[in-house]
Amino acid sequence: MAQSKPDAQRRSRSGDAATAKHKQLESFSQAPENLLTTTQGVVVPDNHGSLRAGARGPTLLEDFLLREKLTHFDRERIPERVVNARGASAHGHFELYRSLGQYTKADFLQEAGLRTPVFVRFSGFSGERGSADTVRDLRGFAVKFYTREGNYDLVGASAPVFFIQDAMKFPDLVHALKPEPHHGMPQASSAHDTFWDFVSLMPESTHALMWLMSDRALPRSWRMMEFFGVHSFRFINAHGASHFVKFHWKPKLGRHALAWDEAQKLAGRDPDFLRRDLWESIARGHCPEWELGVQLVEEGKADALGIDLLDPTKLIPEEVVPVQAIGKLVLNRNPENFFAESEQVAFNPGHLVPGIDFSNDPLLQGRLFSYLDAQVARLGGANFHELPINRSLCPFHNHQRDGLHRIGLPKGQVSYEPNTLANGSEFRVDGGHQGFQSHEDVMDASKVRRRSVSFDDHYSQATLFWNSQGPAEKDHIVCAFQNELARVETPAIRQRVVDNLAHVDARLARKVAEPLGMVADAKAAAGRAGFREHRGKVTVESSPALSMESAVSPLVTRRVAVLVDSGVEIGALKIFQQALAEHQVTLKIVAGHLGVVSTSSGQQLQVDHCFLTASSVLFDAVLVPGGAAHAQALAANGRAVHFVLEAYRHCKPICVIGEGVELLRSLGIDADTPSAEGVLVGKGDPAGRVPLAQEFIGAMARHRHWTRSRLDTVMA
């Protein structure tokens, strides 16, 4: 690449005297953009061929242009993250709604309206860097707040609970989940023997498994996901008083899932589906937003809750401790360089600011070691904090020095403390009351390698999650367990899982076991090591906040496919376009070919996508306008038929107008039966167009109509 102008200008300004050399550099900075140089700035005369002994002879070792290019290329890859390897990011800000001074002295949480710059990375837990976005997985949501007191990282996930209770088990969990070591399969999938072998022997994973098998693991968009801080942290106020705090990120666009069949097809159609969705929405100015919420528990009242706040397999039901919204996160700028920002960003739950502190959660405590260790290994040394994306925006000063890839230029003689040489008077830091003060926890305990008995309840919150799901969500969970276990080759592993499920809910276990040809036996699970009969205090029987089913939410950025062929009647289409534009919905015209199609009134309609590339899984809803010739042509087009059937099977809103109804009839879909919920038919008469468009908007606000029955009979 050519030397960038700002770099060259900076270099030219560094020499004070207006010497001949200075002039020469200035003129270099105006060199054409397409001038190619080596990394030393030497112009490359020809980038198409190496230096050879004769046009047909061997390449010469002295060709430093070739060697420099290949040497750099050979080192372009760095190790991917050992977990959460696949992800993408965005810049934005966090704006505080009201002062939290009562609870925490954190500077960025004091002043209502204060905006703190953030960088957020979304990720999938299990897949490698090149895996697909829409696989069934836990998702990561890591937020770096560039505060005035230093960087604060909130490194969270799409479930409020995790699979294990102690950091000691993390490598085992990850080894079991990742591709099996002998053949390196399967990629980005928990549906294999080693994963279920491990979790079936670790009943503490049951609650997190319920989340992984639920719709939460198949997001329609990262922008439509709820995220959590998982562990209990502490807020510490200016007087040293402590509250336990659990963090929640609530999406403004609501929480929505893909159908399982759709997620699998999308992994092939567009493996970048989620990162593309984020990128495109920000590029179009639809900036995703989340509210940050906190559940606060006074330190002295934690025991009365009956839920051990140090156990990361437990949540606090929102109905027991309400979530208070404290501010909003807005993502409004795409990164400029994927590697420099998304790949090199280094998150660490140990990046804290004064006023926020850890709890003794043994999983969190292990993370405090692991992240820094991982960054040093991945980013090649101790100076990764100097990379632009990791640098704090507030000034920092210490006496760390040297190391691989030192970028800064620390000046002066002094790199130790205390000293008098730096500015002539003594500089000493000892035991002051400024800066980060760890919460003064009273400790008087024996050194033990043992878990608290309060961690023994492995099932009651898995049952709470199950009880809180709607009927369709329960069906999806059952199907997910069936699907995963049907791929497990060892019958004894399948049996252990269904036996464990019998402790969550007898009906769930029975339904999962049926197609596997098994009978769930709760007593068998009870006899195994790791099983504990202990059930904690039941705080609530069901928590509506855990269900996503009844969510009605804004339509902003949803995508509608309009299927057309020659002779399409566009009177109604125009009304729909207007109505949907008010909700910032994107309409795309899909036809048998690109270019234009002729409408029934002889106009030319521009086509956005043809059936070769447009699949129903890339859209949220389908609209088929009227027009006799157009409807007949679509009904005879296998790809159009498949498009509608698939959208029906994935429970998406479908609206057909006028003769378009022929298409539905030919597919055997009767819009009048209750089972065809979300399928709308309009006559196409001018008076009915506006109400029909509104009805369609209402159906889209529901996102999916999961209650459609007998979906397995649909041929798509």
Instruction: Return residues touching ligand HDE (CB under 6 A).
Output: 81-84, 87, 121, 123, 140, 142, 155-157, 162, 167, 170, 230, 345, 347, 363, 366-367, 370-371, 374-375
DSSP string, 447-507: ------GGG---SHHHHHHHHHS-HHHHHHHHHHHHHHHHT---HHHHHHHHHHHTTT-HH
Nearer CB in complex with ligand HDE: 462/562 = 462
Q: How far is the CB of 346 from ligand HDE (least distance, A)?
A: 6
Omega prior to 186 cis, within 30 of 0: yes
Q: How far is the CB of 358 from ligand HDE (least distance, A)?
A: 12
Nearer CB in complex with ligand HDE: 141/481 = 141
Nearer CB in complex with ligand HDE: 374/690 = 374
Q: How far is the CB of 143 from ligand HDE (least distance, A)?
A: 9
Nearer CB in complex with ligand HDE: 255/702 = 255
Q: How far is the CB of 311 from ligand HDE (least distance, A)?
A: 12
Q: How far is the CB of 174 from ligand HDE (least distance, A)?
A: 8
The CA-atom distances, in angstroms, between 589 and each of 223, 312, 493, 596 are 24, 48, 49, 10
- Closest residue to ligand HDE, judged by C-beta, is 140
Nearer CB in complex with ligand HDE: 82/667 = 82
Half-sphere exposure of 19 (CA within 13 A, CB side): 9
Give, in degrees to the nearest 5, the angle at Cα 57 between 51 and 61.
Answer: 45
Nearer CB in complex with ligand HDE: 140/251 = 140
How far is the C-alpha of 160 from the C-alpha of 97, rounded, in Å?
A: 23
Nearer CB in complex with ligand HDE: 168/404 = 168
Nearer CB in complex with ligand HDE: 123/543 = 123
Nearer CB in complex with ligand HDE: 366/688 = 366
* CA torsion angle 485 489 491 496 (round to 10): -50
How far is the C-alpha of 512 from the C-alpha of 519, rounded, in Å?
A: 9
Of 416, 434, 436, nearest in space to 426 by CA: 416
Q: Report the b/e string of 564-591 with b at 16+ CB within 10 A.
A: bbbbbbbbbbebbbebbeeeebbbebbb
Q: Write out the H or E segment, with its range, that includes residue 686.
A: helix 686-701
36 in Cβ contact with 69 (< 8 Å): no
Q: How far is the CB of 141 from ligand HDE (least distance, A)?
A: 6
Residues in the chain: 716
564 in Cβ contact with 625 (< 8 Å): yes
Q: Write out the H or E segment, with its range, that includes residue 244.
A: strand 242-251
How far is the C-alpha of 504 from the C-alpha of 607, rounded, in Å?
A: 51
Q: How far is the CB of 714 from ligand HDE (least distance, A)?
A: 37
Omega prior to 418 cis, within 30 of 0: yes
Amino acid at residue number 601: S
Nearer CB in complex with ligand HDE: 83/266 = 83
How far is the C-alpha of 285 from the C-alpha of 584, rounded, in Å?
A: 11
103 in Cβ contact with 243 (< 8 Å): yes
Of 431, 398, 435, nearest in space to 416 by CA: 398
Q: How far is the CB of 161 from ligand HDE (least distance, A)?
A: 9
Nearer CB in complex with ligand HDE: 137/569 = 137
Nearer CB in complex with ligand HDE: 123/547 = 123
Q: How far is the CB of 157 from ligand HDE (least distance, A)?
A: 4
For the chain, what is the largest distance between any 2 Cα atoms, rounded to a whole number of angstroms?
Answer: 91
* Residue that the structure tokens 């709607």 belong to: 470
Nearer CB in complex with ligand HDE: 155/572 = 155
Q: How far is the CB of 73 from ligand HDE (least distance, A)?
A: 25
Q: How far is the CB of 385 from ligand HDE (least distance, A)?
A: 13
Q: How far is the CB of 703 from ligand HDE (least distance, A)?
A: 26
The CA-atom distances, in angstroms, between 59 and each of 39, 47, 66, 660 are 21, 15, 10, 67
Q: How far is CA 671 from the centre of its chain?
A: 36
Q: How far is the CB of 82 from ligand HDE (least distance, A)?
A: 5
Nearer CB in complex with ligand HDE: 337/606 = 337
Nearer CB in complex with ligand HDE: 391/510 = 391
DSSP string, 386-406: GSTTTS-SS---------TT-
Of 197, 85, 90, nearest in space to 137 by CA: 85
Euclidean distance between the first and the last CA atom of the chain, given in angstroms as a whole number: 48
* CA torsion angle 448 453 458 464 (round to 10): -130
Nearer CB in complex with ligand HDE: 244/347 = 347
The CA-atom distances, in angstroms, between 680 and each of 74, 256, 288, 555, 623 are 57, 21, 30, 18, 9
Q: How far is the CB of 316 from ligand HDE (least distance, A)?
A: 15
Nearer CB in complex with ligand HDE: 364/640 = 364
Q: How far is the CB of 176 from ligand HDE (least distance, A)?
A: 14
The strand ranges marked E within 547-667 are 559-563, 586-591, 596-598, 604-606, 609-610, 621-624, 654-657
Q: Write out the H or E segment, with its range, that includes residue 129.
A: none
486 in Cβ contact with 478 (< 8 Å): no
Q: How far is the CB of 542 from ligand HDE (least distance, A)?
A: 25
H helices of 148-202, where? 170-177, 193-200
Q: How far is the CB of 185 from ligand HDE (least distance, A)?
A: 22
